[in-house]
């Protein structure tokens, strides 16, 4: 019985091309009490491997978070299987706006402590006591309310390329950082302000909405289905789009275009640009914004040092990496000091406090 992926990304890509089938990229999440995450993990892997599902799925005692792709002609059987699991019966599936057959090249189903790392250790916190879910239409109405503070619950490198008009975009590297920062900055407004949150697909702001209710915020709202579902409703219902730029996604597509606006800039030259890449030096692998001209000039590297290392023979590069842990730059996502046009740090609530 196979319980783990055995093919390389290259081998899988070749099989996808040979099959010649269109694939669907989608995501979903559910908070639930799962007694035996490992047992569920193994069950999902066996069933989904048989349906040619590829993706990144996390299972924990608090629920499941899934981002995946599968052949379009297997979708109905996949949905039938989801509906056979009590807490996933009728679950909303966020279908990607832009499809790519190569969005995922491996099936990874992992057991985690939590499906969204939050750094919390509070047994009285009930993640299911969530805020009010809003449709795209109602979100736009709440966004226009002068008594509303709209907060982007994603990380800085996500909001850098796209966000809602007027939203507060925290300069954080992780979700757990934003929880305390937002609470501290809005502490005096727990009673009267509308706290409106959004994220990619809804999973982060759903936990955040429960957290802020737990902390005493009275008027807590979230965009149901996140930016992905918002865009679907905008396109199908003719609703005015209040999102500018691109929506960052965690697969090989990197982003989906929501509007034609380019609000970010190349981290190396400062020209308007909003497509992320990873430094070609595997010892660095920094995620940053690099335009086509800089990519050619720097050989897809973030610095001259990385460029020199990347030019070395493969075995020489491996030798240099021996005994070295991953560079901290990997997790700083564009924070590296040598990038002259990286996103500026600022007080995220400075403008709000002056009003």
Question: What is the Cα–Cα distance from 243 to 140, expressed in whole angstroms?
Answer: 10
Confidence bin at 308 (pLDDT 50/70/90): very high
Looking at domain 132-240, its CATH architecture is 3-Layer(aba) Sandwich (3.40)
**CATH 3.40.250.10 segments of the chain:** 132-240
Whose tokens are 């940053």? That residue is: 288
Active site residue 302: no
Q: What does the pLDDT read at residue 323?
A: 65
**CATH 3.30.70.100 segments of the chain:** 9-111
Q: What does the pLDDT read at residue 221?
A: 97
Which class for 172: exposed (0-12), middle (13-18), buried (19 or more C-beta within 10 A)? buried
| Contact of 163 with 255, CB cutoff 8 Å | no
Confidence bin at 330 (pLDDT 50/70/90): very low
- What's the pTM? 0.81
Look over the chain and give the mean of its residue pLDDT values, rounded to a whole number: 89
Tell me the pLDDT tens digit for each residue of 167-225.
999 888 888 888 988 898 888 889 999 999 999 999 999 999 999 999 999 999 999 99
CATH class of 9-111: alpha beta
Q: What does the pLDDT read at residue 99?
A: 86
Of 199, 294, 301, 306, which one is the catalytic site residue? 199
Confidence bin at 161 (pLDDT 50/70/90): very high
Residue 18 has pLDDT above 70, yes or no: yes
């Amino acid at each position: 019985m196979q319980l783990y992926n055995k093919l390389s990304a290259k081998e899988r890509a070749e099989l996808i091309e040979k099959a010649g089938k269109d694939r669907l990229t989608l995501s979903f999440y559910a908070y639930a009490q799962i007694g035996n995450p490992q047992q569920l993990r193994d069950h999902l892997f066996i069933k989904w491997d048989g349906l040619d599902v590829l993706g990144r799925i996390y299972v924990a005692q608090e629920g499941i978070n899934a981002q995946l792709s599968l052949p379009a002609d297997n979708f109905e059987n996949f949905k039938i299987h989801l509906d056979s699991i009590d807490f996933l019966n009728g679950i909303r599936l966020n279908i990607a706006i832009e499809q790519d057959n190569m969005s995922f090249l491996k099936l990874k189903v992992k057991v985690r402590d939590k499906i969204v790392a939050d750094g919390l250790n509070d047994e009285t916190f009930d993640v299911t006591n969530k805020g009010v879910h809003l449709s795209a239409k109602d979100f736009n109405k709440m966004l226009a309310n002068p008594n509303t503070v709209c907060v982007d619950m994603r990380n800085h490198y996500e909001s850098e390329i796209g966000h809602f008009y007027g939203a507060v975009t925290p300069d954080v590297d992780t979700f757990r950082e934003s929880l305390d920062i937002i609470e501290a900055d809005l502490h005096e407004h727990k009673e009267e302000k509308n706290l409106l949150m959004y994220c990619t697909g809804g999973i982060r702001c759903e936990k955040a909405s429960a957290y802020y209710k737990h902390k005493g915020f009275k008027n807590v709202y979230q965009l149901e289905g996140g930016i992905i579902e918002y865009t679907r409703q905008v396109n199908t219902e003719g609703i005015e789009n209040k999102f500018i730029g691109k929506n960052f996604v965690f697969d090989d597509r990197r982003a989906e275009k929501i509007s034609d606006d380019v609000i970010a800039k190349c981290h190396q030259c400062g020209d308007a640009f909003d497509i992320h890449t990873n430094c070609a030096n595997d010892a660095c692998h920094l995620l940053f914004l690099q335009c086509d001209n800089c990519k050619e000039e720097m050989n897809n590297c973030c610095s001259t040092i990385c460029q020199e290392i990347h030019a070395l023979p493969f075995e020489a590069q491996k030798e240099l990496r021996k005994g070295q842990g991953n560079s901290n730059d990997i997790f700083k996502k564009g924070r590296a000091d040598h990038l002259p046009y990286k996103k500026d740090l600022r007080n995220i609530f400075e403008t709000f406090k002056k009003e």
